[in-house]
Amino acid sequence: TQGQVITCKAAVAWEPNKPLVIEDVQVAPPQAGEVRIKILFTALCHTDAYTWGGKDPEGLFPCILGHEAAGIVESVGEGVTEVQAGDHVIPCYQAECRECKFCKSGKTNLCGKVRVATGAGVMMNDRQSRFSINGKPIFHFMGTSTFSQYTVVHDVSVAKINPQAPLDKVCLLGCGVPTGLGAVWNTAKVEPGSIVAIFGLGTVGLAVAEGAKSAGASRVIGIDIDSKKYDTAKHFGVTEFVNPKDHDKPIQQGWGTSVIVGVAASGQEISTRPFQLVTGRVWKGTAFGGFKSRTQVPWLVEKYLKKEIKVDEYITHNMKLGEINEAFHLMHEGGCLRRVVAI
């Protein structure tokens, strides 16, 4: 198949909020600096639902969503040296080129090399998509587009991992679990004895709880409007629960560091009085938990293999590509964390 167009199945989002359609999609060969990956397993993250729901200012349609996955390299384009056909990999929506001023700064995990293209749903080389249906281009998403049996990504967006790792599990290390752990370890830098409050007890929130427990937090307060999340949350280190629906007055007090993880729809903003920051509160945000993707995803895979971090525990459903719309609906059910789809 090297050098040839591959026709395969992919779940195409034709329009916001309309069911995804499993289509035969043509996937062009990788160009210079690109890698074509056979995706074996992909999970669904809330961000996929956010973009599918038309809330993402960068959302483009038709597109192939999906960014939390694992697979095997099928072929590589010219000049690609760090991976080859047969390597087990995790696509990384947050690239790491190790050459741009951001990568070299030592201050951020955000990489500038291909972000302009990934935000526009195309590849950097020619600003075109590698996906098409009978000649009609279909946009990429987050530089990953993992709801497809084959995808093309930039080489700076591929983490090569230990081939012994089970791909149906470590696909989660492509987004949600690292984001939560890293929000605690890298961004908030939680110290022993700290009190941590988590708003939203999905996979990202529970990974925050796991990270907080491992960092020695004395209390981990879980806040969710869905009381069904509370039972599971205990197993991830949440020690107390608050359902905002049970309170008619604000109950927050004190100061500390707030780390924004969640994404918001176009036009939605957060604000506060300067006094809050003047008097010692700190407001930060985190993308992919501050982890350097190509360097640290393989390290997280090793930590999982040594049983130092949980992954299996976040998987509540195993599904097939044809069930992807059901997988989106399940997101809103109490018992649901990650759904892993076999592609």
Give me the active site residues, please: 45-47, 67-68, 97, 100, 103, 111, 115, 175, 338
**CB proximity list for 267: less than 8 A, separation 6 or greater:** none
Side chain identity at residue 4, one-letter code: Q
Footprint on residues 288-307 left by ligand NAD (CB under 6 A): 288
Handedness of CA 231, 233, 236, 241 (dihedral sign): negative
Chosen residue from 22, 240, 262, 342 binding ligand NAD by CB under 6 A: 262
If one asks whether residue 57 binds ligand AHE (CB under 6 A), the answer comes out as yes
* Residues binding ligand NAD: number (CB under 6 A): 27
Closest CA to 68 of 142, 5, 134: 142
Q: Where are the alpha helices (DSSP H) in 201-287?
A: 203-214, 230-235, 274-278
Chosen residue from 175, 184, 223, 233 binding Zn ion by CB under 5 A: 175
Region binding ligand NAD by CB under 6 A among candidate stretches 84-92, 135-143, 160-168, 260-268: 260-268
Structure-token pair, residue 200 = 């939203």
Closest CA to 34 of 159, 158, 153: 153
CA 118/CA 127 separation, integer angstroms = 10
User: To the nearest whole angstrom, how small is the minimum distance from the Cβ of residue 223 to Zn ion?
Assistant: 20
Chosen residue from 175, 206, 301, 311 binding ligand AHE by CB under 6 A: 175
* Residues binding ligand AHE: number (CB under 6 A): 12
Distance of CA 25 to the CA centre of its chain: 23
Footprint on residues 148-187 left by ligand NAD (CB under 6 A): 175-176, 179
* Residue 308 burial class via C-beta count within 10 angstroms: exposed 0-12, middle 13-18, buried 19 and up: exposed
Q: Which is nearer to ligand NAD, 163 or 334 (CB)?
A: 334
Closest CA to 339 of 176, 225, 199: 176
Chosen residue from 12, 13, 45, 300 binding Zn ion by CB under 5 A: 45
Region binding Zn ion by CB under 5 A among candidate stretches 69-77, 142-150, 174-182, 285-293: 174-182
Residues that bind ligand AHE (CB under 6 A): 45, 47, 56-58, 94, 110, 115, 175, 263, 287-288
| Interacting residues toward ligand NAD by CB under 6 A | 45-47, 50, 175-176, 179, 199-205, 223-226, 229, 244, 261-263, 286-288, 331
